Amino acid sequence: MAVDPTQRRVLRAYLRAVALAEPLQHELAARHGVSLGDLHAVRVLARIGEVSMSSYGSELGVPRSTITNLVDRLERAGLVERASSAKDRRVTLVRLATAGRRAVADTDVLLRSQVAARLLALEPEAQVRLAELLERVVASPPVVRPVDDGRGRP
């Protein structure tokens, strides 16, 4: 599938927006002593709540050994806690610790960022429309399909 000029514009604008947010993500990760990927994992756990290790791994799309190492790191950083399931003692649950909830709720850095300044400078109607579009993109199921880059390559 060839990319038309509008699609190309959307993709370029998205990449520029992501680049604008990157310093903010790095500051948040450094502030909480974890990598960007680990911070993402903390946010996913905040969204799904207390869950078994295997379900957490499935949600993140990582194998069992990787989720164990990830939870080890997050636990050492004080962001998550492990607990035994009351229903099945063979099952280990993972949940956010107090510091993990703080990391997810950390909006000080965001509010002082260039990203926030630019977003909040938009007219209220534009803010609403942008929020609606971003929420729609985030809520859509992932679709994997090669896109022709216009040079005959996907």
* 87-135 per-position pLDDT tens digit: 998 899 999 999 999 988 887 778 888 889 999 999 999 999 999 998 8
Q: Residue 83's beta-bridge partner residues?
A: 93
Q: How far apart are CA 31 and CA 42, in angstroms?
A: 14
pLDDT value, residue 133: 93
Closest among 48, 22, 49, 50 to 36, alpha carbons compared: 22
pLDDT value, residue 144: 62
Q: How far apart are CA 25 and CA 31, in angstroms?
A: 10
Pairing mode, strands 51-52 and 92-96 = antiparallel
For Cα atoms 141, 129, 4, give the angle at the middle one, nearest 5 degrees.
Answer: 65
2 pLDDT band, cuts 50/70/90, is: confident
